[in-house]
Amino acid sequence: MSELLQKGKAAKQAAKTLGQASTELKNKALQAIADGLSANHTPILAANKQDVERAKAANTSAAILDRLILTEQRIQDMVTGVKQVIELADPLGEIMESYDRPNGIKIDKVRVPLGVIGIIYEARPNVTADAAALCLKTGNCAFLRGSSSALESNKAIVKVVQEALTSVGLPATAVQLLEDTSYETSDQMLQMNQFLDVLIPRGGAGLIEHVVKNATVPVLETGIGNCHVYIDEAAEPTMAVNIALNAKTQRPGVCNAVETLLVHKDWGVESLNKLISALNEQKVKVRACSQTKQTISDLDAADESDWATEYLDLTVALKLVDSVEAAIEHIDQYGSGHSECIVTENEQHARKFLNEVDAAAVYHNVSTRFTDGFEFGFGAEIGISTQKLHARGPMGLKELTSYKYILQGTGQIRS
């Protein structure tokens, strides 16, 4: 039997034990993982060094190298992350609804694990510990398929996790790493419906599209964010500049950063100049529509493709619009359903925007950067869903669960 099938089968078996494990036991396992990561920083760093040297030899870009590299501090951050998960409430067993039917049948809707979650991710090895901890807490088995570039690091981390599981009496197979990182095997994993309940891809647009296109296992689509800030004619100038700047520059490489600023044509030339100066000061390249260039001629010209681009760096597109309706229409056409913001003092415009824009998170006078499980108060995040099925927006522990109906009676039959 291939590694894939063997580990898939083992995960499905372990899911039963894990789904019935007490909160206390799961927390004990998480503590053992945190302790294990702390105690084993030397072998983990040694394994990581192998990955980094291989990546350097392959002329990997500095950005990807940075994601790959582990340090004492980054291992400590993983430990902190795992410990935080211990503190979170266990969502399992919650009675979500409970009612009696006229025929005397009692119906309880009870929160249960999803089962086995396949997680497909790119370079960052910290995802390994992070995903394992979140799955474990929610009674799910984690079936991890990391990047081949991080294979040694991931193996070292999973070894620690599995030893911790064993030490508390839980099956080591509750968290497994697929070591065969060939594309062929990866694609087989996407169709392993007999053992996997859900797939969560975490990474760039290419990875996510590949998973969505090829998976037969249900997918939780995460992450692509072509986000907009619409500055209404009634926007308070300082607030609008601050929000636009924060949404673009506070961390430009992430999915909730803004990519296009839509500005009402009557916001005022002075305000517009202030916005552009502020962006320039922060080294943001502005790609402007032709109407903007009529006012401020020394900007780069945007073309049609800019409206659809997730730059993920210090570049922003800028378009003047005639109305809140035109802003919404632009977002309808180009937005990816992630995070969309209106800055305005006009409550009616705000209400219209919040109601009509179809996105996971819609904002009034707040930076789009808050679309995040921690900022939402979930205490954890496995990703940000941009689909409408199951979960939308930041996914915390609850979003890693399903439910079942328990019906109890006294011999009721259907007539």
Is 388 a residue that touches a second copy (CB under 8 A)?
Answer: yes
Q: Which is nearer to a second copy, 31 or 387 (CB)?
A: 387
DSSP symbol at 51: H
- The piece of 224-232, 264-272, 300-308, 397-405 that touches a second copy (CB under 8 A) is 397-405
User: Of 360, 380, 395, 397, which lies in the binding site for a second copy, with binding defined by CB under 8 A?
Assistant: 360
Total residues interacting with a second copy, rule: CB under 8 A: 70
Candidate segments 78-86, 130-138, 294-302, 351-359, binder of a second copy by CB under 8 A: 351-359
- Residues across the chain: 415
Alpha-carbon span 107 to 321, nearest angstrom: 52
The two tokens of residue 186 are 């990866």
Q: Does 56 bind a second copy (CB under 8 A)?
A: no
Cα distances (angstroms) measured from residue 171 to each of 16, 37, 127, 178: 10, 18, 21, 17
The answer to whether residues 296 and 406 touch, using CB atoms and an 8 Å cutoff, is no
- Phi first, then psi: give them for residue 291, nearest 5 degrees: -65, -40
Question: Which of 53, 95, 101, 277 touches a second copy (CB under 8 A)?
Answer: 101
For residue 361, state whether it binds a second copy (rule: CB under 8 A): yes
Q: 110: which strand partners?
A: 95, 404
CA angle, 116 then 122 then 125, to 5°: 85
114 lies in the binding site for a second copy (CB under 8 A): yes
Helices 41-57 + 72-87 axis angle, to 10: 120
Single out the residue of 85, 177, 178, 220 in contact with a second copy (rule: CB under 8 A).
220
Q: Which of 2, 3, 6, 20 binds a second copy (CB under 8 A)?
A: 20
415 interacts with a second copy by CB under 8 A: yes
Q: Per rule CB under 8 A, is residue 261 in the interface with a second copy?
A: no
Query: Binder to a second copy among 10, 366, 380, 382 (CB under 8 A)?
Result: 366
Among positions 71, 216, 277, 280, the unique one binding a second copy when judged by CB under 8 A:
216
Among 62, 213, 304, 305, binds a second copy (CB under 8 A): 213
Q: Please tell me whether residue 377 binds a second copy under the rule CB under 8 A.
A: yes
Specify the residue, 36 or 373, whose C-beta has the smaller distance to a second copy. 373
Burial class (CB in 10 A: 0-12, 13-18, 19+), 200: buried
The residue written with tokens 């968290």 in the block is 175
Q: Determine contact, residues 399/407, Cβ cutoff 8 Å.
A: no
Restricting to residues 164-203, name those near a second copy by CB under 8 A.
Answer: 191, 193, 197-198
Terminal Cα distance for the chain, rounded: 48
Q: Cite the beta strand spans of 61-203 per DSSP E.
A: 95-100, 106-113, 116-121, 141-145, 175-177, 198-202
Q: Is 251 helix (H, G, I), strand (E, B) or coil?
A: coil
Residue 363 lies near a second copy (rule: CB under 8 A)? yes
Binding site for a second copy (CB under 8 A): 16, 19-20, 99, 101, 105, 107, 112, 114-115, 191, 193, 197-198, 212-213, 216, 218-221, 236, 239, 242-243, 245-247, 250, 332, 350, 354-356, 358-367, 369-371, 375-377, 387-390, 392-393, 402-415
